[in-house]
Chain A
Amino acid sequence: MKPSLDGYDDDKALAAEFVLGLLPEVEIENAEKSIQNDPIFRAEVAAWRDRFAGLVAGVAPVNPPAKAKRAVNVRIFARKGTHASGISGFFIGACTALLIAAAVLVIFLPPKGISLITALSSGQPPLTVLARTEGGVLDAAVMAGGAASGRSLELWVLDDNGAPQSLGVLSETGKLQATLDANLAALVEPGTTLAISDEPLGGAPGGQPTGGFLAASTLVRD
């Protein structure tokens, strides 16, 4: 049913249609095979991507807000490994966001006496934690739920590169009190992301979360 063009032109038009996502299912498969096997077609596809990307030159750049960068870091580095397969990454992201709204609550007061608060949530299992910091001292306590049997909860702060830095491991009774060193204290400000993870008893052995985060959320002024 393809409109007839000579073979050479047909491939060029086909590459353009492929890039725009206009091909019917059956033809997509063939095009993907051609990309694998035919260097000329592959180059034609790349050239069309380039041509069409030129259309973006007329689109005004807009700086995303700072919190978007943190959301990006959470999406990439706060991976949760327990979702069923077959769910797209986008929906996993959406589900994670929903989970964040449900069960871990952290209240956080930074050194200079400014109160910061954030709500973290984990639906599975439900968990609520309260934390506070004042003068560089962090206090956190589980209010509901808790670590799984034989496991520990660990609290993290994400640095500017999205790398998690441990704030400490919650005790068996679900409490954590810690004096933040200068590096950690400097990270704690409005908009900073805190995260909580499920770890082997005693905390992550390598200083990095072993699985994914149960929940992550950003600090806001109380």
Chain B
Amino acid sequence: MTESAEADSEGTTSATSIAVATSAESGAEVLADLYRTHVVGLVRLALLLVGDQSTAEDVVQDVFARLHRGGARLRDPDKALPYLRTSVLNGCRSVLRARRRAQLLRVPHEPPVWSAEAAVLAGEDRRAVLAAVARLPGRQREVLVLRYYLGLSDHEIAAVLQVSRGTVSSSASRALGALARELREES
């Protein structure tokens, strides 16, 4: 909603202000600019998938650290934001995968923001919706977040997730169907 509009306008701002990177030095500058511009939006995106802020920050930090280490030349700023989003989603997937394994060892992690324990999110209905989303398979959850949080079109979602548009629409409709069933049963 307002957040997605903000992210989009920030994206274009950075696109105009970033000059073509020609050396490692200015590459780092470009990266730093991208970081300043997008860190909040990306951490929020990660937060919706992994559930807690510190893990979300870790995921985003890792993405930038890796970009920096790889000496990436961000010559095409238009592609930077979708690329960063893809990287963040991949990072979130790894976290969630590792958590499933870590559950075998009963390693605790922070309660998600939508749990009653965390007590940071007001509204029973919101918590129920987010908890139901968290129980969906990974790709369905990602599609919902990209569509209803970032407000991306199915075409853009397909690019970020690196899947076909057909996969995006079928994941979305399956996810909405499952949510409708589950939320009706709960309430």
A binds B: no
Q: B: which residues have CB within 8 A of A? A: none
A residues at B contact (CB < 8 Å): none
